[in-house]
C-alpha cells in the first residue's frame, strides 16, 4: 500500500539549534516529492519539489534532500518564525495519486 | 487578486442548510483540487478536476457536490452536512499534477 510517514510528529528546538525532519515513503514509482509549510489556520505554502535520488534544494535556512526511500528537510540555525507544520507529499509515477503525510509540527523557542 | 482565493473564510451552518464554497485560481493552471483537513489527520483529497473534467472522487459522501464551470473556478456545494464534516476545506491548483498552490481555506463549522 502506498504510504507517506513523517517523523517526528512534533519537534521543539531552541533558536539556532539545527535539526532534520524525515519523510519516508512507499509508492509505486516516484514522479515527485513535495515539501510544504503550513501556518495555523492557513493553507499549505509550497517549498520544494524533488524528482530523483541525490537531488537537493535549498531556500534560506531550509535544505531538502531525497533518497530512494525517504526525504529529509534540514533546518539550519532556525528562528522562531520557522515555527510551523511541515508537510511532505508524494506523486506516483503515473501522476494519478498524490499522498500527503501527517506533518511535523516544528516549534522554535527564542 | 493573485494565487488561489477562497470564499468565505469562515462558515457556520446548520445540518439542514445548503451552502457553497468558492475557489478561484489566478495562476493559469489546468488542475484544481478540494481537500478536507481535520485536526491531527493528513490532508484528505476529495475531488480533482483536470481541464474542467472530474478525474477523481475519493469516496466522498454525496452531501458534498463539486462543480467546475471553467479551469479557473471551483465550487463545493454543501447539503445536509453532519457535525463530523466540520473541518478546514482547502482548494488547490496545479499545472499538470505538479506542485500544488493552496488557497487560505474555509473553516467550516456544522452545528
Express each pLDDT in B33-87 by its tens digit: 999 999 878 899 999 998 777 777 778 999 999 999 998 999 999 999 999 999 9
Question: pLDDT value at position B98?
Answer: 87
Q: Is B93 exposed, middle or buried (0-12, 13-18, 19+ CB in 10 A)?
A: buried
> Distance of CA A91 to CAs A32, B48, B97, Å?
5, 14, 8
CB contact under 8 A, B100 and A41: no
CB contact under 8 A, A42 and B4: no
Residues B49, B66 contacting (CB under 8 angstroms): yes
- Which residue on chain A is closest to B36 by alpha carbon? A43
Q: Give me B91's grid cell.
A: 482548494
Q: Which of B96, B102, B107 faces A44 most closely, judged by CB atoms?
A: B102
Residues A104, A86 contacting (CB under 8 angstroms): yes
CB contact under 8 A, B42 and A100: yes
Can you tell me which residue has the cell 493553507?
Answer: A43
Can you tell me which residue has the cell 526511500?
Answer: A69
Collapse the DSSP code of B91 into the 3-class scheme (helix H, G, I; strand E, B; otherwise coil) and give the result.
strand
CB contact under 8 A, B92 and A43: yes
- What digits encode the pLDDT tens for the residues A14-49? 999 999 999 999 988 899 999 999 999 899 999 999
CA–CA separation, A6 and A19 (whole Å): 14
The Cα of A15 is separated from the nearest Cα of chain B by a number of Å equal to 25
Residues B51, B68 contacting (CB under 8 angstroms): no
CB contact under 8 A, B97 and A95: yes
Percentage, residues of chain B above pLDDT 90: 79
Amino acid at each position: 500500500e502506498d504510504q507517506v510517514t513523517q517523523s517526528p510528529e512534533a519537534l521543539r528546538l531552541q533558536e539556532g539549534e539545527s535539526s532534520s525532519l524525515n519523510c519516508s515513503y512507499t509508492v509505486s514509482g516516484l514522479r515527485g516529492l513535495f515539501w510544504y509549510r503550513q501556518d495555523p489556520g492557513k493553507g499549505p505554502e509550497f517549498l520544494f519539489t524533488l524528482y530523483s535520488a541525490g537531488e537537493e534544494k535549498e531556500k534560506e535556512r531550509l535544505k531538502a534532500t531525497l533518497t530512494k526511500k525517504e526525504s529529509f528537510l534540514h533546518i539550519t540555525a532556525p528562528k522562531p518564525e520557522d515555527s510551523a507544520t511541515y508537510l511532505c507529499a508524494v506523486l506516483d509515477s503515473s501522476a494519478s495519486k498524490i499522498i500527503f503525510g501527517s506533518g511535523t509540527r516544528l516549534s522554535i523557542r527564542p | 487578486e493573485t494565487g488561489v482565493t477562497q470564499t468565505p473564510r469562515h462558515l457556520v451552518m446548520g445540518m439542514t442548510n445548503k451552502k457553497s464554497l468558492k475557489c478561484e485560481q489566478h495562476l493559469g493552471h489546468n488542475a484544481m483540487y478540494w481537500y478536507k483537513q481535520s485536526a491531527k489527520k493528513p490532508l484528505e483529497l476529495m475531488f480533482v478536476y483536470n481541464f474542467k473534467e472530474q478525474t477523481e472522487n475519493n469516496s466522498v459522501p454525496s452531501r458534498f457536490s463539486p462543480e467546475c464551470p471553467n479551469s479557473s473556478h471551483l465550487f463545493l456545494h454543501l447539503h445536509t452536512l453532519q457535525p463530523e464534516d466540520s473541518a478546514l476545506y482547502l482548494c488547490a491548483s496545479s499545472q499538470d499534477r505538479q506542485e500544488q498552490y493552496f488557497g487560505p481555506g474555509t473553516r467550516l463549522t456544522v452545528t
